[in-house]
Amino acid sequence: MAAPHKQGEVVEKILFLAHVDESCNVLPKAVYEVLGLAIDVAAQMNATLTIGLIGENVDTAAAFIGSSGATRVLAVSGPDFAQPRYASDAAALEAICRAVQPTLVLAPATWRFSRVLPGVSHRLAGQADTHITGLEIRDGALTASRWYYRQRIEAVIRRDARPWFLLLESGCHKPWTGEPGAPSMEKMPVVIPAELRRTNVTGTRAPKSEAQTIRPDADLLFVAGAGWTKKQSDGKVHGEEAESLILRFLELSKASLGGSKSLVDQSGDNQAVLGFMTHLNQVGQTGATPRHPKGLSTCCHGEEPHVVGWRFIHERRAINLDPNCGWARGKADVLYVSDAFEVMKRVNELLATGSEKKEEATATAR
């Protein structure tokens, strides 16, 4: 943030929106990050800050951010708002926005909010921008940074329309870490009519994979490319060995698994490939752009459509047999020209030894 708000300009009215997580008791981690940013923006623009909460029961969660300094805390709660459903979430958020009449609406880009807030902006005659990675005040006005063309062009934008809804990505600000408090909360009654109950959320479903492979909070992203399923130096495909090496590594390192499009597409074509790899793992131009401090790519060529999915991976290393692959051309910090099967096998052995030593040390300390 820079260049504080100039005196005499239009005073913004900021509404920060949050929802409770699936446990119904706490707020998602991203909420604290965006709250921290909202507090900063409000201070620099001399703006008022109001908090809006939705969920089945928001009392416990509201206490966590009770000392944030917001002038008002509004909530829509009840069984109708337990599950993310477009119709009921939109009604709740619309009611809060109409009560507050904000000029700026800041919210974390959780799945729940990402799939409803642009729709709400239409109802409020406002406009929304998503995947915001930073906010800055320039000449007294708020500007936002976001990527276009799948993380290949970064733009700084400004909108005249108000209210301006901004959905912010995680990792864009330090989390707010204030003390819990007991906010004075205004609970708003929102009735959901029958025509908005045509959809029922019945639960969640994990992918068919036996092990959890996607861990958004992991320190390491491990990306497997199509090379794992190609013929190796002995002229044979070692699919089963690849599966066990990768799963063992994920188990030991607690890394999150990503896959290149070519590998994921092979799974869709029902070829005999890595059984645990689904489209949800896909990273790159047509997949996800996850945020992890480190990334390790294996058996993947590292060309541009793939690497755009690495835009928010800070430290990047790759293992590939080709010293001229894309990773070597400034895409990775380190490229190991070696056989990923052999390297990962040894990495797993070393990680397992380290893990055993840790367990022994813990047992001795007891």
Query: 214-253: which residues touch other proteins (CB under 8 A)?
Result: 214-216, 220, 253
The smaller minimum CB distance to other proteins, of residues 180 and 354, is found at: 354
Query: How many residues would you count in the chain?
Result: 366
Of 56, 140, 150, 187, the one binding other proteins (CB under 8 A) is 150
Q: Which of 241, 249, 279 is nearest to 262 (CA)?
A: 279
Of 3, 9, 10, 148, the one binding other proteins (CB under 8 A) is 148
For position 359 contacting other proteins by CB under 8 A, the verdict is no
Give the DSSP H/E element, type plus range, for residue 121: helix 117-123
| Letter string b/e over residues 154-168, b meaning 16 or more CB atoms within 10 A of that residue's CB | eeeeebeebbbbbbb
Full DSSP string of 250-262:
HHHH-PEEEE-HH
To other proteins, the closest distance from the beta carbon of 96 in angstroms equals 17
Q: Which of 178, 109, 174 is nearest to 146 (CA)?
A: 109
For position 319 contacting other proteins by CB under 8 A, the verdict is yes
Q: Which of 313, 266, 253 is nearest to 289 (CA)?
A: 313
Query: Under DSSP, is residue 96 helix (H, G, I), strand (E, B) or coil?
Result: helix
Of 79, 171, 180, 268, the one binding other proteins (CB under 8 A) is 268
The smaller minimum CB distance to other proteins, of residues 151 and 229, is found at: 151
- DSSP conformational letter for 194: G
Sole window of 41-49, 67-75, 227-235, 280-288 interacting with other proteins (rule: CB under 8 A): 280-288
To other proteins, the closest distance from the beta carbon of 88 in angstroms equals 9
Sites for other proteins among residues 94-133 (CB under 8 A)? 110-112, 114-116, 118-119, 122-123, 127-131
The smaller minimum CB distance to other proteins, of residues 39 and 263, is found at: 263
For position 79 contacting other proteins by CB under 8 A, the verdict is no
The smaller minimum CB distance to other proteins, of residues 11 and 155, is found at: 155
Sites for other proteins among residues 289-318 (CB under 8 A)? 294, 296, 303-305, 311, 315-317
Of 101, 329, 360, 361, the one binding other proteins (CB under 8 A) is 329
Q: Is the dihedral of CA 170, 171, 174, 180 positive or negative?
A: positive
Of 203, 210, 231, 363, the one binding other proteins (CB under 8 A) is 203
Give the DSSP H/E element, type plus range, for residue 347: helix 340-365
Sole window of 11-19, 45-53, 95-103, 328-336 interacting with other proteins (rule: CB under 8 A): 328-336
CA distance 79 to 160: 37
CA distance 119 to 1: 28
Over the window 36 to 65, marking each residue x when it contacts other proteins by CB under 8 A and - when it does not, the resulting string is ------------------------------
Q: Are 134 and 195 in contact (CB under 8 A)?
A: no
Which residue is listed with tokens 């390297």? 343
Sole window of 4-12, 39-47, 231-239, 344-352 interacting with other proteins (rule: CB under 8 A): 344-352
Of 44, 133, 151, 260, the one binding other proteins (CB under 8 A) is 151
Which residue is listed with tokens 């056989």? 339
Structure tokens that stand for 142 in this block: 């708020």
Q: Are 167 and 113 in contact (CB under 8 A)?
A: yes
Total residues contacting other proteins by CB under 8 A comes to 102
To other proteins, the closest distance from the beta carbon of 343 in angstroms equals 5
Of 156, 182, 211, 272, the one binding other proteins (CB under 8 A) is 156
The smaller minimum CB distance to other proteins, of residues 176 and 312, is found at: 312
CA distance 312 to 284: 11
Structure tokens that stand for 310 in this block: 């690495």
For position 269 contacting other proteins by CB under 8 A, the verdict is yes
To other proteins, the closest distance from the beta carbon of 60 in angstroms equals 20
For position 184 contacting other proteins by CB under 8 A, the verdict is no
Q: Are strands 141-148 and 134-138 parallel, antiparallel or unpaired?
A: antiparallel
The smaller minimum CB distance to other proteins, of residues 27 and 185, is found at: 27
CA distance 134 to 250: 32
